[in-house]
Amino acid sequence: MLDTTSPLWWIFAALSAAAFIAAMLPGMVNRRQKIFVSMGPAFTFLVLLGFAAVYDESVTEWLPVYSAVLIACTLCVVGHWKAMRTFMTWRAENPGKPDSEGPDTPWVLQFVVTLPVCLIPAILYVR
C-alpha cells in the first residue's frame, strides 16, 4: 500500500480531478454551468489547503481524502447523465426557482451512498 506521503498521491489526485471533470461536463448545458463544475476540483483543493494550514497538517498526507471526495462525486453521476442534463436544462431555464420544483435528481441518493463508501476508508487510511 502507498505511504500517505508518497508523491504518487499527487498523480492520483490529478487523475481524480480529471475524472470528475470528464464525468460532470456532459451534464452541463451552458458555459456558466461548465465553468462552475470545472472549478469543483480547485475549490475542493482550496478547502484542503485551508484544512492543512489551520490544523498544521501536510497537504500530501490528506490527498487520499481529496481524491476520495472527487471520486465519490464522479461515481454519483454514473448512469445518470440523461437525468442530470434534464435537470441542468430545467435549472438554466428557471434560474430563480428552487431546485425542489425541478425534475427528479436520482444521483443524489447514489451520492449519499457513495460518499461514505469512498470517504470513510480514505479517512481511516490517512489516520
Residue-wise pLDDT tens digits, 43-72: 999 999 999 999 898 899 999 999 999 999
Give the cell for residue 32.
Answer: 456558466
Q: What is the per-residue pLDDT for 104? A: 82
Cβ–Cβ contacts within 10 Å for residue 73, how many?
23
* Percent over 70 (pLDDT), the chain: 99
The DSSP annotation for 26-42 comes to GG--SHHHHHHHHTHHH
Angle between helices 63-76 and 40-54 (to 10 degrees): 150
Give the cell for residue 7.
Answer: 508523491
What residue segments make up the domains of the chain, in order of their start? 8-126
**What's the sign of the alpha-carbon dihedral 88, 90, 91, 92?**
positive
Q: What is the per-residue pLDDT for 42? A: 97
Better-predicted residue by pLDDT, 66 or 2: 66
| CA nearest neighbour of 86 among 66, 67, 111, 107 | 107
Phi, psi for 7 (deg, rounded to 5): -70, -15
Average pLDDT over residues 102-117: 86
What confidence category does residue 6 fall into, taking pLDDT thresholds of 50, 70 and 90?
A: confident
What's the pTM value of the predicted model, to 2 decimals?
0.89
Residue 1 has pLDDT above 70, yes or no: no
Supply the Cα-derived Rg of the chain in whole angstroms: 16
